[in-house]
Amino acid sequence: MKIAMLGSGFIARFYADTLHAQRRKDQIELVYSRTEENAKRFAKDYGLSHYSSNLHEAINHPETEVVVIALPNHQHEEAVLACAAAGKPVLCTKPLGRNAKEAKVMLNAVEKAGIFAGYLEDLCYTPKFLKTVKSVADGGLGKILWTKSREAHPGPHSDWFWDKSLSGGGAIIDLGCHCVEIGRNFIGKNVKPVEVMCWADTQVHPIDAEDHAIGLVKYANGAIGQFEVSWTFRGGMDLRDEVMGTEGTVWLNSFLRTGFEMFTTSKGGGYVAEKAESDAGWLFPVGDEAHELGYPHMFTDMFEAMEKGREPLETFYDGYVVNAILDAAFKSASSRQWEVVELEDWRGDTNSEKLSGHHSYDDEHWLIKKETLPNGDKKVILKHKTTGKVNQIVERG
């Protein structure tokens, strides 16, 4: 397909590097940027036939078959509405909106126009993540009880991120959107997020938005999704996830110290990896950043979904749910209470079964715990099903 890229900044280049690598067939044909100079430079760097400094002209261009939105957060709504009006399929970067209200307007517009719409949530497409989601779906971890997703780095690379009125918030909106959607994928997208408790503060930077936050998302089945986000972390980009179920656990480390370590006195200098803070000493480069961050699998899913007339793994509806959870996080950070996730449009289960990991030991007892001790003894801790009495049996080793 022929792609119109809206934006020529950081993520537009990551997307272009992905789309034009490895002999992929869906190619960028046209770029829009605010200034003609930037549009021209991007077009030259990627060998594009057209460039424009007019958003609507780019979307409506006869060569444009699909639009990729790589613009700052406050520009997403206008661009999505323009795609809906033009009837052009659209892929929008994260977060979908600055809040759920904006996201819902975008969701309604694409559904009314009947156009394909995909939510570009790359971190839900990393190879490690996709494999973990499969293990979870196959029951390898049992019932999912808790997830934790952490994204922390020294702060973003452009002015608009730091201006709350343009971005919609600080680390919560910028990084929390990834973490929340990672948690939803593990816990189950059909399970309703019900409440959020969040601590947020501005610990370091002279900004109105939060630069550090920790939150808990409570789901209807009792599962908990934890997020940790920061623009105050020093030492690179820390991307780690954990998922724990009744039968197992997975720990994922996606970016720092993943097996490629290098020392240099920095005679060469230059770029090491996203948000790396140094180009000397011991460094942690990343072999193929786009791949480690999920971009190739993400675009493959998007274009295949379009071709086959199915939904992509990450939809505008997912983007809307994420925004609704983050709205509750902002509310909780200021009220210091659990806040309800307001979802006027909920499409998942309405009656989620509560999590329970009870196992029978025999007809009369529940098994609480079984453990082999250092001396070889085996202890079995039981609860009587009717009296509720807890007792233990020791099998001598």
Ligand X SMILES: NC(=O)c1ccc[n+]([C@@H]2O[C@H](COP(=O)([O-])OP(=O)(O)OC[C@H]3O[C@@H](n4cnc5c(N)ncnc54)[C@H](O)[C@@H]3O)[C@@H](O)[C@H]2O)c1
Shortest distance, position 365 Cβ to ligand X, whole Å: 50
Distance (Å, whole) CA 355 – CA 139 = 14
Shortest distance, position 190 Cβ to ligand X, whole Å: 24
Q: 141 Cβ partners below 8 Å, 6+ apart?
A: 135, 243, 244, 245, 246, 247, 248, 249, 250
DSSP-derived 3-state class of residue 390: strand
By beta-carbon proximity to ligand X, the closer residue of 72 and 188 is 72
Please give the structure tokens belonging to residue 19. Answer: 């789309």
Question: Can you spell out the DSSP letters for 179-227?
Answer: HHHHHHHHH-TTSPEEEEEEEEE--SSSSSS-SEEEEEEEETTS-EEEE
Please give the structure tokens belonging to residue 391. Answer: 């007792």
Distance (Å, whole) CA 119 – CA 318 = 8
DSSP assignment letter at 161: G
By beta-carbon proximity to ligand X, the closer residue of 122 and 292 is 122
Q: 84 Cβ partners below 8 Å, 6+ apart?
A: 90, 109, 110, 112, 113, 115
Tell me the residue nearest to ligand X as measured from the CB.
Answer: 9
Shortest distance, position 159 Cβ to ligand X, whole Å: 8
By beta-carbon proximity to ligand X, the closer residue of 95 and 225 is 95
Shortest distance, position 15 Cβ to ligand X, whole Å: 9
By beta-carbon proximity to ligand X, the closer residue of 83 and 194 is 83
Shortest distance, position 267 Cβ to ligand X, whole Å: 29
Shortest distance, position 75 Cβ to ligand X, whole Å: 5
Binding site for ligand X (CB under 6 A): 7-12, 33-34, 38, 70-73, 75, 93-94, 120, 122, 158, 160
Shortest distance, position 166 Cβ to ligand X, whole Å: 8
Distance (Å, whole) CA 224 – CA 218 = 5
By beta-carbon proximity to ligand X, the closer residue of 120 and 341 is 120
By beta-carbon proximity to ligand X, the closer residue of 75 and 246 is 75
Q: 307 Cβ partners below 8 Å, 6+ apart?
A: none
Neighbour count for residue 304 (Cβ, 10 Å): 11
By beta-carbon proximity to ligand X, the closer residue of 52 and 147 is 52
Distance (Å, whole) CA 242 – CA 174 = 20
